[in-house]
Amino acid sequence: MITVTRPWLPSRDKLNKYIDRIYETKQLTNNGCLVRELEERLAKFLGVRHVILVANGTSALQVAYRALNIEGEVITSPFSFVATASSMVWQNITPRFCDIDTQTFTLNAQHVERKINKNTSAIVPVHVFGNPCDVSELAEVASRHNLKLVYDASHCFAVRYNNKSILSYGDVSTLSFHATKLFHTCEGGAIVTDNETLAKDIRNRINFGITGMSQVDTVGINAKMNELEAAMGHAVLDDIEVSISSRKEQVGMYRDAFYDLVRDGYMHLQHIRTGTEENFAYLPVVLNSEVVVEKLDAAFRQNGILARRYFHPSLDTLAFINPLNDQCAVSQEIAKRILCLPLYAGLSSSEQKSIISIIRSILLSDL
């Protein structure tokens, strides 16, 4: 089976080198040395000030909302994985969905301002598939209305924008290090911020609010990463350049192969914002109708290929996370017509050629 992604698996020798440390220290969790060292390595590699490792990308969002006192209504994107919005509802925050841009698939910053009311406390845009949002416009809107700005940057490991890490925009950015991500720790995530006081508060909150042997200062939760996950993170980080460059080659091959299909209007690709250094984590294609998507998906399955309809359905169509019934026509339309293609180190060029040939035969036969 060719699946949409496959986790990067470092060599057993490399992983064992880190796991040996756990056997030496006998520290399995609670801020052990592998977690601390991984935080330092990641901060350096990503070019950011504070990286706080957590249990997963969803808890990264939840802790960030809590630490920033986010409540009431939050403006966010309907074109994302469900965790972006369900993490809000879980904390009694009401998501207000604002539509996306047809080309970049990120929040349409001009529409955001219209959704702001007296109950709004934050904006949570998503750099979807690693494509940067309109960060300067969003920063202006947030500052004009005194709102917190939290980027769901789950797809953005190693993405840079205008010569700096995309994670350095906003009050906080969150990452997912799930097994399906470019950089992973099996399960895991991180909260990234430049603000020292906030970083300290977040560190306390992910460990039950405990600040000393007999001291608990605030409401916290258990959102810690453990040492085994950190060991995997170290080993994956050792190989990250290889993993990115192999994806870069594959994305190049897809883009070249789709040149005429895009030119002749059979599909369109996400417009990557100028000034972006990409991480090649996803390769979404937008087809002309849901019928074509279903046809292609069926042809793929017949050939043992499992592409994925990320992100379908559009989150504004889910009543349990959209109590105020916001409607986002662009997101609904893109969600129906999008398909993410297989992309991972280890996908062979002959496998990629057969994926491309199936796409061409379905799209060109659909005249």
Structure tokens at 22: 């756990």
56 contacts ligand T4K (rule: CB under 6 A):
yes
The minimum distance between CB 97 and ligand T4K, in angstroms, equals 14
192 contacts ligand T4K (rule: CB under 6 A):
no
In the list 19, 50, 68, 84, the residue contacting ligand T4K (rule: CB under 6 A) is: 84
6 contacts ligand T4K (rule: CB under 6 A):
yes
64 contacts ligand T4K (rule: CB under 6 A):
no
Phi, psi of 75 (to 5 degrees): -85, 130
Q: Which stretch binds ligand T4K (CB under 6 A): 38-46, 100-108, 156-164, 178-186?
A: 178-186
152 contacts ligand T4K (rule: CB under 6 A):
yes
In this structure, are strands 267-269 and 284-287 parallel, antiparallel, or unpaired?
antiparallel
Residue in the block written with tokens 């000030």: 49
334 contacts ligand T4K (rule: CB under 6 A):
no
314 contacts ligand T4K (rule: CB under 6 A):
no
Instruction: Give the footprint of ligand T4K on residues 269-308 (CB under 6 A).
Output: 306, 308
The minimum distance between CB 306 and ligand T4K, in angstroms, equals 5
312 contacts ligand T4K (rule: CB under 6 A):
no
43 contacts ligand T4K (rule: CB under 6 A):
no
Residues with Cβ < 8 Å from 121, sequence gap 6 or more? 69, 70, 71, 72, 73, 74, 147, 148
Nearer to ligand T4K, 316 or 363 (CB): 316
Residues with Cβ < 8 Å from 345, sequence gap 6 or more? 6, 8, 242, 243, 246, 247
**DSSP secondary structure of 134-172:** -HHHHHHHHHHTT-EEEEE-TT-TT-EETTEEGGGSSSE
Q: How far is 235 from 229, CA to CA, in rounded Å?
A: 10
Residue type, 199: A
Binding site for ligand T4K (CB under 6 A): 3-7, 56-58, 80-81, 83-84, 126, 152, 154-155, 176, 178-180, 189, 306, 308, 310
